[in-house]
Amino acid sequence: MAATDSYKTIKSVSEGIYKEKGSKFIAFAYPVFQKEEIKAIIEKTRKAHHNAKHHCFAYILGSKGDTWRVNDDGEPSGTGGRPILGQIRSLNLTNTLIVVSRYFGGTLLGVSGLSNAYKSAAMSALDNVEITDHIIQEFYEIEFPYSAMNDVMMVIKEENITQSKQSFDLECRIMLNFRSSAKESILGRLSRITGLNYRFISSG
């Protein structure tokens, strides 16, 4: 994925279905942010569809889409997770999980048939999603003397910075967040204010 301060992901959970020769493939697309929540979602899907023979899945995580995994859950290698992953990548999405539960209809589909079925099921779920651009934010805490207040407020206003958790006394503290792409400019201006110190909190 291109280096940028935004990425595409899905806004909410969606569902799709694909049928082939008696087998039914039910796909669920989820917005996700941590590996821990992915495990819980997969287990919940297994319990909700305990009669399904397979639960194949794929996910991509991270603002750059550099963390991913596929799982065929007993299907022939490469026929479940990879086709699902391909559909996530086709829309340039990240922080997205798709689980496809297969109810076996009694007829073997073969390698190409399975791959197409899982791909089509995943596509069906993604056809129903709303895709959103998530702006990557940087969060910093700044500390400065009260005498520097006007200079700080000028930077905040001119750079359109969001502020929160303000504490004004002899020493002032403000939590700031702004687009990642603006970091160099903003921190450069803040660092030139006498007595001001900043501390990185997080990004996301």
Q: How many residues does the chain have?
A: 204
Instruction: Say if residue 107 is in the same domain as residue 194.
Output: no
Residue where a domain stops, chosen among 133, 162, 190: 133
Give the domain-ending residue among 133, 149, 183.
133
Q: Are residues 99 and 145 in the same domain?
A: no
Span 183-193, average pLDDT: 96
Query: 67 with 102, same domain?
Result: yes
The DSSP bridge pattern shows strands 131-135 and 162-167 to be unpaired
Q: Does an H or E element contain 200, and which?
A: strand 197-203
CA 77 – CA 20 distance, rounded (Å): 19
Query: Looking at residues 77-89, what average pLDDT do you find?
Result: 97
- Same-domain status, 112 and 153: no
Taking each helix axis as running N to C, give the angle between helix 149-158 and helix 183-191, from 0 to 180 degrees, rounded to the nearest 10.
160
Reading the block at residue 185, the tokens are: 């400019």
Tell me, what CATH number does 42's domain have? Answer: 3.30.230.30
Within-domain flag for 17:
yes
Does residue 124 belong to any structural domain of this protein? Answer: yes
- 31 and 114 both lie in a single domain: yes
pLDDT of residue 17: 96
Domain check: are 123 and 162 in the same one? no
On whether both 83 and 179 belong to a single domain, the answer is: no
Among residues of the chain, what percentage have pLDDT more than 70?
99
Which pLDDT does position 128 carry in this prediction?
A: 83
pLDDT per position as a tens digit, 124-173: 999 989 999 999 999 999 999 999 999 999 999 999 999 988 988 879 99
What are the distances in angstroms from CA 26 to CA 121, 125, 161?
Answer: 7, 9, 44
Could you give the 3-state DSSP secondary structure of residue 73?
coil
User: pLDDT band for position 1 (50/70/90)?
Assistant: very low
Per-residue tokens: 20: 């082939």
Residue 113 lies in a domain: yes
Which tokens go with 65? 């889409």
**Rounded to 5, what percent of the chain is helix, strand, coil?**
35, 40, 30
On whether both 148 and 65 belong to a single domain, the answer is no
What's the whole-number average pLDDT of the chain? 93
Supply 59's token pair.
Answer: 């996910």
As a whole number of angstroms, the distance between CA 187 and CA 60 comes to: 31
For residue 107, is pLDDT > 90?
A: no
Domain count along the chain: 2
Compute the average pLDDT of residues 82-99. 97
What would the 3-class secondary structure string for 137-166 be? Answer: EEEEEEEEEHHHHHHHHHHHHHCCCEEEEE
14-61 pLDDT per residue, tens:
999 999 998 999 999 999 988 889 999 999 999 999 999 999 999 999
Residue 73 covered by a domain: yes
Residue at 1 is within a domain = no
Domain containing residue 53: 6-133
